Homo-oligomer: A and B are copies of this chain.
Amino acid sequence: MDILKTKSAMQEWSKKKKKESKTVCLVPTMGYFHQGHISLMEKGKPLCDELVVSIFVNPTQFGPNEDLDSYPSNIENDLALAKKAGVTAVFLPSKKTVYPEKFQTEIKLQYLPGFLCGKFRPVHFSGVATVVTKLFNIVMPDIAIFGQKDYQQLQIIRQLTLDLDFDIKIIAGNIIREKDGLAMSSRNAYLSKLQRSSALSLSKSLNLAKELIARGEKNPVAIKNQIETFICTFPETTIEYISFCNPKTLEAVDSIEHQVLLAIAVKVGKTRLIDNALIDHPAQ
């Protein structure tokens, strides 16, 4: 497994592989790997000749009051897990490599960031769009894999790829959950024991909504009210949003007539957690 720390080293590596007609798959990450990350690598492995993982905690996607400084990290463990997952190269740049002095370019999408997390994290998605564009140009992958837990991010990257004409296939990885249902996240490491049990309110809310919809409930407001009441029974929870929306445009739906995305963001203590599910209408 090669470890590449500069843009030019990574680009040269990828260009060499491409000259050998090898296909490259990229799994962009912020490190501190859990089974969610590993599943993305496992998904990519059979699809390509060369599996690249990038590890970079991207400062431009954190707001001023967010957890950039405390974001968990364990590079040594990440490298061991990546190797075990069959990764052939890790791109591990410094902040200065990614954002040298006089860096001044930003990529923004007009509509998709206006919903869900974007409302609460105003700089987040332009930070994501910009760093992903950079990673695409540095790693030059044929395929890139993003987890579906960050559903809005996935949609934004699909649109970005289309809009900027990247010749890259975007593949979604399923949400990976703990045995009790909690969606895996590096941020789960922040949770106290009590908060850890309150964190279950998210996945349980998704299940509650699935049941209600299966029983014929079409009114998103009615379901949201039930979920709100349900989440509030868990200690230390503060709901940020509960949204039933169109899975492509992310616009809120008035009535559940087709497949919908239910996306939830809850603060548990100071830890912001998100979860989501694509829920089919029972008639489908």
Contact = CB atoms under 8 A, between A and B. Distances in A.
Nearest to A8: B167
A15 interface: yes
Contacts of A107: 105-108
A105 B165 contact: no
B167 A11 contact: yes
Main secondary structure of the interface of A (DSSP, over half): mixed
A160 interface: yes
A164 B104 contact: no
Contact of A129 (B105, B110, B134): B105
A23 B167 CA distance: 18
A194 interface: no
Interface in A147-168: 159-160, 162-167
Interface of A: 7, 11, 15, 19, 21, 100, 102-112, 129, 133-134, 137-138, 140, 159-160, 162-167
8 contacts: A7-B165, A11-B165, A11-B167, A103-B163, A104-B110, A134-B164, A137-B165, A137-B166
Nearest to A97: B165
A4 to B, nearest CB: 13
Given A165-B7, A167-B11, A167-B15, A105 B159 contact: yes
A106 B113 CA distance: 13
A224 to B, nearest CB: 27
Contacts of A160: 105
Given A104-B109, A133-B164, 16 more contacts: A11-B167, A102-B159, A104-B110, A104-B112, A104-B159, A104-B163, A105-B108, A105-B129, A105-B160, A105-B163, A108-B108, A134-B163, A134-B165, A137-B164, A137-B167, A140-B167
Give the 8 A-B residue pairs with the shortest CB-CB distance, closest first.
A105-B163, A104-B110, A137-B165, A138-B165, A104-B109, A134-B165, A104-B111, A107-B107
